[in-house]
Structures are given as structure tokens and as C-alpha cells.
Structure 1
Amino acid sequence: MNCNQIIIPLSIHNQMVEHGISTLPYEACGLLAGNQTNVQSIWQFKNECKSDRRFFVSKYNVERTLNRINEEKQDVLAIYHSHPFTAPIPSTLDMINHPDTDIKMIIISFKRGSPTVRWYRIRDTNYEECLFRIESSR
């Protein structure tokens, strides 16, 4: 998948940001799924390590969620996580642990108080910012 513009419904964008707010001061994490470049669902995880610098989700919880996404006939489009106190830029650890170059990384930063959301394509230890568009429900 390249860095084509991604479309996310406003309701899902808001759920993702609210998830980040609700887990402060720890990082939030989850998945966005859909088809091609259209986000259709959000899958929130519990950060099992309760850290403001990293997140961890057990293999069991990830696999269970991936099976449910597959049952919905969707693909994982992005992994999101929050940065409670740092900028919305992938850290070295974020890039090293990113599982798949076809899946985008979203970072929600609360460094400046109000949330800042950025989408990235990760390749090894490099990143490229991707465009996204938030659409109101039709």
C-alpha cells in the first residue's frame, strides 16, 4: 500500500481521539480497519503495560481482534497509538516494532493539550507522512 489519501469518518476519528484522552497519562492503542483507503471500523485495545512511552497488547487479544476484523471482511489499515507528552512523530522504538509496511501508523499527540493526529507509512527506520481526510457521516 502506498501513501494514498486515507478517508476516515468523523465518528471513528472522534472515537480514536477520545480513546487517547480516556487513557491519559498512558498511551492508548488500537486498530483501524476497512477496505483500501476507507476506514470503516475502530478496534480499541487496552494498553497492558500502562506506560506513557510504549504500549503492549497480548498476542491473544491481537489475534482475537484480527479474526473479528477478518469476519467483517475488512483489512487492517492502520495501527494507532497516542503520545501523551511527546510530538506526533514516530520514535525509533515505534518504527522498529511496527509489524508491516502495508499498515499505516497513526499517532495522536497530546503534547500541546489539544490532540494532533498524524498518519505515517513506515519502512524500516524511515517514515513518510500520509494525507488523510475526515468525512462527516452522510
Structure 2
Amino acid sequence: MSIDNLLIVVDTISIHRKLLDDIISHCEEEYPNEACGILAGNEGMVERIYRMTNIKNSPVNYEMDPMEQFRCMKEMRAKGLKLIGIYHSHTSSSAYPSRDDIEKAYWPDLPDTTVYPEACYMIVSLVGKKPEVRTFIIWPEKIDEIKLNLTGEKGKR
């Protein structure tokens, strides 16, 4: 087996405070509906975010526009970026994967096969006075929270 075939799972995601502020702003702008987007970068460091349109227009569910997602993946490949994760908001529940979030992480006909095995899932809860942000790896049998390391100077939050 070559090293190219190994799945590397990180226990920490690093993101600049400005990018995290942009994610939270996106989630607040889409409220009361869920917002969604893609985290791109390399080796656990988020270098760029891609805001996606939630074609469900729902406060309890999201689905990324497939054409936007395709263009995003194409641009990421051209820029040498990899998929770090997927972010979305919870407008009426905590920052923890819902049953729907867990189901979305797996192919419908292959319940033990993740759609994006290398991806983490960042959830922004807008329930409290301040947004709560947590990041997870969703496995078939469990959910692991991973650390979120903020870089850069303090932002507006």
C-alpha cells in the first residue's frame, strides 16, 4: 500500500479567526435557515471557506447546491487545496451532530461508507446569546469531537 492510499485523520483543525468570523457571519445572515459551506486547506489548516447555497431553505436541514459544490471542488483542485470539512448551522439546537447530520455523512446504500472520509463537520449553533462552534469526525459507531485551534489576532467576537 502506498502512502497516497492512507486516510489521515487529524485531531485538531486550525483556522484563522477572520475565517471563523466569516463562517459565523454567514450563519447569522442565513438565519432562520441553516447555512452551509466547505472548509478547504491543507494538513488540518483551513485556508479558505466556500459559502454554499442551502437549496433546502430550511431552518432544520441543509443541502448544498450541487453545481456550486462541483465548481468549488474544481477550484480547490486547481489551487492545490483539499477538503478539510463541511460547516453548517443549527438554528434551534446545540452544536452537536443531529441524526440527519449523521445520516448525511454516509452513502444511503452503504451505511458504513462515508461520503467524505477525510472531512470533519463544523457546526455553528445560533441558539444562545453567542454562537457556539464545535467540530467533529463522524464515524459509523461514534462521534469524536476534535479541537479547534484559532490563529491570528482576536476578531470581532
The TM-score by the shorter chain falls in which range? over 0.9
- How many residue pairs align between the two structures? 137
Letter in 1 for 2:122: I
The structure 2 residue matched to 1:42, chosen from 41, 49, 57, is 49
TM-score, scaled relative to structure 2: 0.83
1:87-122, CA deviations, whole angstroms, 9 ceiling, x for partnerless residues? 011011101111223100000001113100000001
1:84 maps to 91
Contact 2:83–2:118 (Cα < 8 Å) also in 1: no
Instruction: Give the structure 1 partner of residue 29 of structure 2.
Output: 22
Q: Secondary structure at the match of 2:68?
A: helix
| Structure 1 position 56, deviation (Å) | 1.2
Aligned-residue offset at 1:57: 1.8
1:1-138 residue pairs with structure 2 within 5 A? 1-98=8-105, 99-124=115-140, 126-136=142-152
SS at match of 2:72: helix
Contact 2:10–2:44 at 8 Å: present in 1 too? no
Find runs of 4+ consecutive structure 1 residues off by over 3 angstroms: none
Tell me the TM-score normalized by structure 1: 0.94
Q: State the AA in 1 paired with 2:135.
A: W
Shift of 1:4: 2.1
Identify unmatched segments of 5+ residues in structure 1: none
Q: Which has the larger radius of gyration?
A: 2
Aligned letter for 2:133? V
1:31-63 CA-partner distances (Å, limit 9, x unpaired): 010001111000001111110111112322211
The 1-side partners of 2:147 and 2:47 are apart by: 17
Cα distance in structure 2, aligned partners of 1:107 and 1:130: 12
SS at match of 1:78: strand
User: Structure 2 CA distance, aligned partners of 1:125 and 1:44?
Assistant: 30
5+ residue gaps, structure 2, are: 1-7, 106-114
Cα distance in 2 between the residues matched to 1:71 and 1:78: 18
How far the C-alpha of 1:125 sits from its partner, in A, is 5.3
Paired-residue identity, %: 23
